[in-house]
Amino acid sequence: MFPADCKYTKNHEFVKPLGDGTAIIGITNYAQEALGDVVFVDLPEVGETFGAGDEFGTVESVKTVSECYMPTAGEVIEVNADLEAHPEYVNEDPVAKGWMIKVRLEGAVNAELLDAAAYEAHVASESH
Amino acid sequence: MTTARKQTPLFDWHKAHGGNIVEFGDYLMPVWYASARNEHLAVVSQAGLFDTSHMATIRVFGKDAYELLQWCFTRNLDACVGKDNAPLTDGKCVYGLFLDEHGHAIDDSIVYKIMDGEYMVEVNASMGGAVAKHLVEQAKGRDVKVFDLTDQLGKIDIQGPASIKTMAKLLKNPEVVFDKLPYFSAKGHFDPASTLAGQVQLLDGTPLLLSRSGYTGEVGFEMFVERAQTVKVWEMIMAAGAEFGLTACGLASRDSLRTGAVLPLSHQDIGHWPCINNPWPFALPFAASGSGFTKAFLGSAALEMAAPSADWTLTYVGHDLRKVDGHDAKVYLDGKEIGTVLTCATDMAIGRHEGRIYSIASPEKPAGLAIKGLCCGFIKVGSRLAPGTTVEIKDAKRSIQVVIETDVRPDRSARKALKSFL
């Protein structure tokens, strides 16, 4: 089950709106499990702005380096400083501990994102 | 046509214990359980258990078994044991290769002399058929019989400093078993009918062939058992090792550990090119003078011809743990492409500090040094580069600077006296 208060991309990123025009963004539990041990996370600088679908960083695991794409448009107002010393937080809890960036949302959250049920169905179809 | 992948006897155990199952050649194997990084670190500081039942064992019997292997195998069986180059005697084993007539690698192998007229040849997963066939073809009417035991045995590797204490809990007369068991020697037999079966037994009488060898660079054993005993033996070892931190380990940690131990992967670091000018000259029977070999063997003439112009396979270590895709990366020196990457892995147990590489196990490691891992592996280039040379390895996404080195993970435990671990 994926958290209902998030929206998802088909590329396995999540966005969790915080109710005040900001949101946190990261990769989903499905993604971290598939990647294996996350050993390095490359994040943008505070102040950078991205459109929906833009690459904002990369996550490196024992297996591979994966690009991370913005679920929705926004300006980076905070990056998760813990991930430099503790990239494994992405594996341990990808939302609460392993979130990657906090953004000020630009406009409404991208309407094309999947809700939790649709993302779960997407994951189920990908695993076959 | 796709054939269903094969399973080892431990497949159900792997799945039940969180094994992330992947296709590995003909087999379904665990690539990791909870964490490849933790499995790697566990082997260096405590111990890890590997299911290697997918590897292939070949038995070679007969009056001419020695002669056949002396022709086909790169090591000189008369001069290959220890620093004095002693002959391969009963209970000794040696690492080398089977080459074709071009000097290209068919497979690498550990060959055991069990007794006069009986040898055991250990090769890689899915290579039992090919190597057995090769030996039969080369036998040409000699008095020798070759048996491919693919999928007929169980094999379990225990590796890491706590391996010895773990096995001491499970063996009858462990002091006797561990006495005079140097690196690359073996005792016992998996076949209960063998005269050697009484040499190494678990407490319940299960015989096993205990080989003081492995693929991680850390101290431990490769253990051969009858197929039907595999799960029982695995579970006994896991239970005995729990108090010492014994961890089940998958193929990802096996690969990162062997790279840190500067060991080649067959069909990746050795392959369809002359098997010379690489980090493994001990696999060839070089004469002490350095020129020529001490015996003729299948592939030796081709290697002698190829040596002056053959590519060089070199070891490298990076500056942090980030890697490139080892299957798709090239090597650059001063902006010019000079070769390809063969292996790119991360040894999680090492780090650089003031010009030196340290392991988490290094006795001289500076207190408080945070070790996060270093990228490492092998490249193949047109000419030799001196250790200390910096090159760039580049895949489609990134470019990393790495340094040619003579070694990767320091202070490995494989050769240390067994009693120092008890």
| ipTM associated with this complex | 0.87
> For B315-350, how does the pLDDT look when each residue is reduced to its tens digit (9 = 90+)?
999 999 999 999 999 999 999 999 999 999 999 999
d(CA B77, CA B59): 17
**How many residues are present in chain A?**
128
* Mean pLDDT, residues B246-260 taken together: 98
Contacts of residue B356, defined as CB under 8 A and 6 or more positions apart, other chains included, come to: none
Which secondary-structure segment (H or E) carries B303?
Answer: helix B300-306
DSSP B143-197: S-EEEE-TTTEEEEEEESTTHHHHHHHHBSSHHHHHTT--SSBEE--S-TTSTTT
**Structure tokens that stand for B173 in this block:** 């007369």
- Residue at B82: amino acid letter: G
Contact A73, A104 (CB under 8 A): no
Residue-range domain boundaries for chain A: 7-118
The distance of Cα B202 from the centroid of its chain, to the nearest Å, equals 25
B322 in contact with chain A, both atoms CB, cutoff 8 A: yes
Asked if the Cβ–Cβ distance from B36 to A64 is below 8 Å, we say no
Share of chain B above pLDDT 90, in %: 97
B36 in contact with chain A, both atoms CB, cutoff 8 A: yes
d(CA B149, CA B125): 11
Chains A and B form CB pairs within 8 A to the count of 38
d(CA B123, CA B282): 18
* Mean pLDDT, residues A36-59 taken together: 97
User: For B320, which residue in chain A has the nearest alpha carbon?
Assistant: A40
d(CA A1, CA B109): 47
* Mean pLDDT, residues A55-80 taken together: 96
Give the residue among B372, B417, B420 at the shortest CA–CA distance from B212: B417
Contacts of residue B153, defined as CB under 8 A and 6 or more positions apart, other chains included, come to: B53, B57, B190, B224, B225, B226, B227
Q: What confidence score (pLDDT) does residue B4 get?
A: 81
Which of B348, B397, B399, B400 should one mutate to test binding to chain A, selecting the residue with the greatest count of A CBs within 10 A? B397
Q: Tell me the pairing of strands B356-359 and B350-353.
A: antiparallel
Q: How distant is the Cα of A62 from the closest Cα of chain B, in angstroms? A: 7
Q: What's the whole-model pTM score? A: 0.95
CATH topology for A7-118? OB fold (Dihydrolipoamide Acetyltransferase, E2P) (2.40.50)
Q: How distant is the Cα of B36 from the closest Cα of chain A, in angstroms? A: 7
Give A128's pLDDT tier (boundaries 50, 70, 90): low
> For B278-301, how does the pLDDT look when each residue is reduced to its tens digit (9 = 90+)?
999 999 999 988 779 999 999 999
SS3 B105: strand
Work out the mean pLDDT of chain A and round it to a whole number. Answer: 96
Kindly give the residue spans of alpha helices, DSSP state H, lying in B96-157: 128-139
d(CA B285, CA B262): 19
Residue-range domain boundaries for chain B: 11-55+152-258, 311-411
CATH topology for B11-55+152-258? Gyrase A; domain 2 (3.30.1360)
Asked if the Cβ–Cβ distance from B37 to A39 is below 8 Å, we say yes
Say yes or no to pLDDT of B89 above 80.
yes
Q: Tell me the pairing of strands B47-51 and B246-249.
A: parallel
Give A1's pLDDT tier (boundaries 50, 70, 90): confident
Asked if the Cβ–Cβ distance from B36 to A39 is below 8 Å, we say no
User: For B37, which residue in chain A has the nearest alpha carbon?
Assistant: A37
Give A35's pLDDT tier (boundaries 50, 70, 90): very high
Q: What confidence score (pLDDT) does residue B2 get?
A: 58
Give the residue among B239, B364, B299, B287 at the shortest CA–CA distance from B104: B299
Q: CA distances (Å), B189 to each of B113, B186, B194, in order?
A: 12, 9, 7
**Structure tokens that stand for A92 in this block:** 């341990």
Q: Where are the beta strands (DSSP E) in B160-304?
A: 186-187, 209-211, 220-226, 246-249
Q: What confidence score (pLDDT) does residue B240 get?
A: 98
Contacts of residue B351, defined as CB under 8 A and 6 or more positions apart, other chains included, come to: B357, B358, B369, B370, B371, B372, B373, B374
Q: Which positions in chain A touch B376 (Cβ < 8 Å)?
A: none
Work out the mean pLDDT of chain B and round it to a whole number. Answer: 97
The CB density around residue B125, as the number of other CB atoms within 10 Å, is 19
Q: What confidence score (pLDDT) does residue B144 get?
A: 98
Q: How distant is the Cα of A19 from the closest Cα of chain B, in angstroms? A: 35
Say yes or no to pLDDT of B3 above 90.
no
Burial of A108 (0-12, 13-18, 19+ CB in 10 A): exposed
Say yes or no to pLDDT of A37 above 70.
yes
The CB density around residue A3, as the number of other CB atoms within 10 Å, is 14
> For B369-396, how does the pLDDT look when each residue is reduced to its tens digit (9 = 90+)?
999 999 999 999 999 999 999 999 999 9
Share of chain A above pLDDT 70, in %: 99
Q: What confidence score (pLDDT) does residue B291 get?
A: 78
3-state secondary structure A28-86: CHHHHHHHCCEEEEECCCCCCEECCCCEEEEEEECCCEEEEECCCCEEEEEECCHHHHC
> For B45-56, how does the pLDDT look when each residue is reduced to its tens digit (9 = 90+)?
999 999 999 999
Q: What end-to-end distance do the CA atoms of chain A give, in Å?
A: 18
CATH topology for B311-411? Elongation Factor Tu (Ef-tu); domain 3 (2.40.30)
**How many residues are present in chain B?**
422
Q: What confidence score (pLDDT) does residue B289 get?
A: 86
Q: What confidence score (pLDDT) does residue B1 get?
A: 52
Asked if the Cβ–Cβ distance from A37 to B398 is below 8 Å, we say no
